[in-house]
Amino acid sequence: MALLVQKYGGTSVGSVERIEAVADRVQRHREQGDDVVVVVSAMSGETNRLVALAKSMQEVPDQREMDVLLSTGEQVTIALLSMALKNRGLDARSYTGSQVRITTDSAHGKARIQEIDTEAMRTDLDAGRVVVVAGFQGADELGNITTLGRGGSDTTGVALAAALKADECQIYTDVDGVYTTDPRVVDSARRLNKITFEEMLEMASLGSKILQIRSVEFAGKYQVPLRVLSSFTEGEGTLITTEGNEDMEQPAVSGIAFNRDEAKLTLQGVPDIPGIASKILVPISDANIEVDMIVQNVSADGTTDFTFTVHRNEFDQAMEILQAIQAELGARGVVGDAKIAKVSIVGVGMRSHAGVASTMFKALAEESINIQLISTSEIKVSVIIDEKYMELAVRSLHSSFELSGTGVKAEAE
């Protein structure tokens, strides 16, 4: 018997049949004695339909009114799910974000939750009711409807779990957990039973398809055990939790992340003097271009090469900016390449396992893959390589770190 917050995304409530399936699952949990708060998204397709309507009224729709419009999507789902639950003889009550008093700031379209009043929910749970809450939405102090931005239903789920001190926040989606890498690239990719919040964040390129990064940060901050599981199949999913299942040997590497959305730019022969990095990056960030990796090596002849990566869509714009400031900075030249891929190994275990990086570099060398850039964090090593070698690199690393599930380092299923 536990208090569970279950969040169901758009595809999980995408039809009458899918909503019925959610109601069945909630019923099973109730029969096991669990208390359940359900957070739902809009039925899949609905948000796009509403956005299209809005754009036909106003090219750049007013943000306050957009939130009024979009919030109807989840409101439809909470009503339908509550009816399905009542049809099964369960007592249920729906709440919009405003009704359950999820108070946010007034940043329409990307509001942040400030406070949640749990009183009504507690009363309902104590009375044996299932509480059904519209995800993705709240209201500011003046009562204006706000939305948390796309994917914000995950954030609602985690925030409710934190506020209610739930035993677990279960995120139901269309995949059955977090994998050691993308199963479409590596056949033997294995579902992880457990992963830490930090690893999940670093696995962004995989994880962002499953969970909004912001909700993972939020869950980590408030220590809410988060479980990703499928609403289409039965299974334990992947538990995202704070570090430390002490009685199990931690594998050095938990997963392989990758993406080919980036492009690299290098300003060559920059004078190696204080303040040069900010002189390069300020005009980039002024143009609202986000920078991912930044690499600068030690200087040789009083000059250095300064390299960074941006999203591939912003490569041309970033190039223009660098060319414009090149002379002023006294740099020798500007070069760039959009045909690159980033491959990362991620694992909290590498903190205590020496030689993880060298194993990575050796594996890539054995495949004759040249490493263009290296960047490391405490639990991640990322390399930039030619994009054509990406799949090869991922498979090679997945095998080298014995992630396929038979090695001693793998967790028991």
Collapsing DSSP states into helix, strand and coil, what is residue 377?
strand
Is the Cβ of residue 29 or residue 93 nearer to its own copies in the bound state?
93
Amino acid at 296: Q
Window 129-158: contact mask with its own copies (x via CB under 8 A): --------------xxx-------------
Among 9, 14, 61, 151, binds its own copies (CB under 8 A): 61
Is the Cβ of residue 16 or residue 287 nearer to its own copies in the bound state?
16
Q: What is the DSSP string of 161-197?
A: HHHHT-SEEEEEESSSS-BSS-TTT-TT--B-SEEEH
Among 1, 31, 33, 59, binds its own copies (CB under 8 A): 59
Options 12-20, 185-193, 226-234, 392-400: segment touching its own copies (CB under 8 A): 12-20
d(CA 249, CA 147): 42
**Which pairs from 327-330 meet CB under 8 Å and 24+ separation?**
329/267, 329/270, 329/271, 329/276, 329/279, 329/280, 330/270, 330/271
Closest distance of CB 162 from its own copies, Å: 23
Q: How many residues bind its own copies, per CB under 8 A?
A: 38
d(CA 268, CA 232): 52
Q: Is 56 in the site for its own copies (CB under 8 A)?
A: yes
Is the Cβ of residue 59 or residue 247 nearer to its own copies in the bound state?
59
Which uninterrupted H or E stretch holds 209?
none
Is the Cβ of residue 76 or residue 325 nearer to its own copies in the bound state?
76
Q: Is 196 in the site for its own copies (CB under 8 A)?
A: no
Closest distance of CB 130 from its own copies, Å: 12
Is the Cβ of residue 83 or residue 277 nearer to its own copies in the bound state?
83
Strands 35-40 and 113-116, by their bridges, are unpaired
Q: Is 118 in the site for its own copies (CB under 8 A)?
A: no
Window 78-117: contact mask with its own copies (x via CB under 8 A): xxxxxxx-xx-----xx-x-xx------------------
Among 27, 72, 106, 376, binds its own copies (CB under 8 A): 72
Q: Which of 368, 360, 374, 404 is nearest to 388 (CA)?
A: 368
The first and second tokens of residue 199, run together, are 């690893």
Q: Which of 105, 403, 72 is nearest to 254 (CA)?
A: 403
Closest distance of CB 16 from its own copies, Å: 5
Window 15-34: contact mask with its own copies (x via CB under 8 A): -x--xx--------------
**Which pairs from 72-76 meet CB under 8 Å and 24+ separation?**
73/41, 73/42, 73/43, 73/46, 73/47, 74/40, 74/41, 74/42, 74/134, 74/135, 74/136, 74/137, 74/153, 75/134, 76/42, 76/43, 76/46
| Residue numbers at the binding site for its own copies (CB under 8 A) | 16, 19-20, 50, 53-54, 56-59, 61-62, 64-66, 68-69, 71-72, 75-76, 78-84, 86-87, 93-94, 96, 98-99, 143-145
